[in-house]
Amino acid sequence: MPRGLKVATIQFEPTMFEKARNIDRLAALCEQAAEGGARLIVTPEMGTTGYCWFDRAEVAPFVEPVPGPTTERFARIARAHDCYIVVGLPEVDDDDIYFNTAVLIGPGGVVGRHRKSHPYISEPKWAAPGDLGHQVFDTPIGRIALLICMDIHFIETARLVALQSADVICHISNWLAERAPAPYWISRAFENGCYLIESNRWGLERTVQFSGGSCVISPDGTIAAVIDGGDGVAFAELDLEAARARKVGGEPVFGQRRPELYAELLTNTFSWNPHDFFRLYGHRPWPPGRRSQMAVVQMLPADDVGDNLERIAALARLAKTRDGADIAVFPELAVTGLKEPWTRAQPLPGPATERLCRLAKELGMHLVVGLAERDGDSLYNSACLIGPEGLVAVYRKTHLTTADRAWAEPGDAWAVADTPHGRIGLLIGHDASFPEAGRVLALRGCDIIACPSAVGGRFSAAHPGSRVAQNYPIPTGADPYHWHHFRVRAGENNAFFAFANVFDPAAGYPGLSGVFGPDSFEFPRREAIAADGEGVATSVIDTSGLDSVYPTNIVRRKDLVSMRLPHGYRELVRHTNASVTVEV
């Protein structure tokens, strides 16, 4: 199996009702890619037919079986050039059921296929949800997985194929409603430490503007190649060893997973009216929620507990007096400092938390603060939720970095607390590198995820701007924070995500703290980012239900969470995954 692999993504605008023309044009683009040396070529979702079909009757003349005439057309190209091609088409099976399908075709014909498992708005009119699961196909050029458009909104799909050691995810799409390369695409490559080849269509079809931005994304989230608008081919060279390292930010994340804590990923808490579900039997009903001001505080903790507590108090007062903040989240280890924090570890409760409780009562605020905790002979990297009423909750970091493991024990439980501001779940720094962690908190009905952090490296990237037209108010111009990994964490869980990071560029901590809103496709975004230096960023959050019968607020309704298909997620919670290759 080669270490290096040349690949190509194809961007194409199909025309509805002109299947033969579409196939001819796609075949020509695949020939161009193959003649350019690409061994793996990816084409868009439904690229052979167009996408915006009204119903089964309208698409019926264009469906076909797999294998079939279209797959054989592309198999001839694959045989001639010894390459692999991913093609999107509407499939019909022996029972006359239609599927939105991606087919991997090699020199020997059809290698495998994926039927879109998580349909978007239009497919339920004509297609059934996919029934083939999420597979990885072993080929002479690497381990290849297929996903289709909406599938990638769900953290579970890409994680399932990553656990099967996928080198490359081929994601074919008809993406819309934002600039591309889309942040979701980047985060799925980044959090799974693998390559993602994105083939998206472009153009206008039945009033729908598609985004283009077809690209190749590296395991570190960098864009190796991209097409903005128009038909075209983009090439990239992949180093498959970078994917097989299975690392995120230098950490061996697949060896650090905690599947024993993930059993709730198989639950479906939002399949019923969540107002009813979360008050079932009168057990822990949702707090009413309200409109609040939430702040994240960006700072570099010192190596002195007293100095840190003074700095925390000063910044909390600033957040309160300047911004009217009701909640403030401080960085990981903010009380005890980052350097040898165990030497300043605090008991809980103890003098440090007592001082913070007095501060919270004085200001009428809730505070989330990180510190090293000592409990007898045990040490933990912990976070405290403190309010005017006292110490509300303590969370012990469950996913430890390599550096954490030198001094701390992992926690073994999630922390969720109800407050006047809504239901709050706690994570700490590296925990948020694991998509499973935020998902469990969302399934528990958290409106807010507070995440004190000391996260270094690169987890955000700019966008230079796009020539693809978008409907107002979707931005098309340059954006220094187009992709922010922790904004994606908010959107995928339909929760407010408060990421309070250390700022110390010399040591690799970029800051970029932010309060991120619950809807990735709401523009202008509901968020505030602290870009440079110490300081406070504050944003309005609204956790009220807005309706007494069924919640109309997305943080309570959680659209994406309700559309999950957890019966297919079993592999995420297995305590042993023999199929995963991990370097620790």
Catalytic residues, by residue number, are 45, 116, 149
Strand partners of residue 504:
509
Contacts of 10 (CB under 8 A, 6+ apart): 26, 29, 30, 33, 41, 42, 43, 44, 47, 199, 214, 232, 233
Cα dihedral value 265, 271, 272, 274, nearest 10: 60
Which residue, 444, 530, 438, 424, is CA-closest to 490? 438
Contacts of 248 (CB under 8 A, 6+ apart): 190, 191, 192, 193, 433
Cis peptide bond upstream of 524, omega within 30: yes
Instruction: Put the strands of the sheet holding 98-106 in their side by side order.
Output: 109-115, 98-106, 84-92, 40-42, 4-11, 232-239
Q: 356, 385 in Cβ contact below 8 A?
A: no
Can you tell me the distance from the alpha carbon of 91 to that of 89, in angstroms, rounded to the nearest whole number? 6
CB atoms within 10 A of CB 192: 26
Q: How far is CA 152 from CA 40, 74, 182, 209, 221, in A?
A: 20, 25, 11, 19, 15
| Closest by CA position to 249, among listed 183, 167, 191 | 191
DSSP β-bridge partners for residue 449: 425, 497
CA–CA–CA angle 81, 28, 235 (5° rounding):
65
Instruction: Kindly report the backbone phi and psi dihedral angles of residue 147, in degrees, each rounded to the nearest multiple of 5, phi listed first.
Output: -135, 155
Alpha carbons 311 and 335: distance in angstroms, whole number:
9
For 46, how many CA atoms within 13 A lie in the half-sphere containing its CB? 27
Q: What is the 3-state secondary structure (H, E, C) of 95-120?
A: CCCEEEEEEEEECCEEEEEEECCCCC
Task: Quote the strand ranges of 69-207, DSSP E.
Answer: 84-92, 98-106, 109-115, 136-139, 142-148, 168-173, 195-200, 202-205
SS3 content of the chain, % helix, strand, coil (to 5): 30, 30, 40
Single-letter code of the amino acid located at 140? P
**How many angstroms separate the CA atoms of 367 and 99, rounded?**
49
Round to the nearest angstrom and report the end-to-end CA distance of the chain.
22
Number of neighbouring beta carbons within 10 Å of residue 243: 25
Residue 260: partners with Cβ closer than 8 Å, 6 or more residues away = 575
Q: Name the one residue in this structure whose structure tokens are 């407050």.
A: 419
CB 98 within 8 A of CB 59: yes
Contact between 255 and 436 under an 8 Å Cβ cutoff? The reply is no
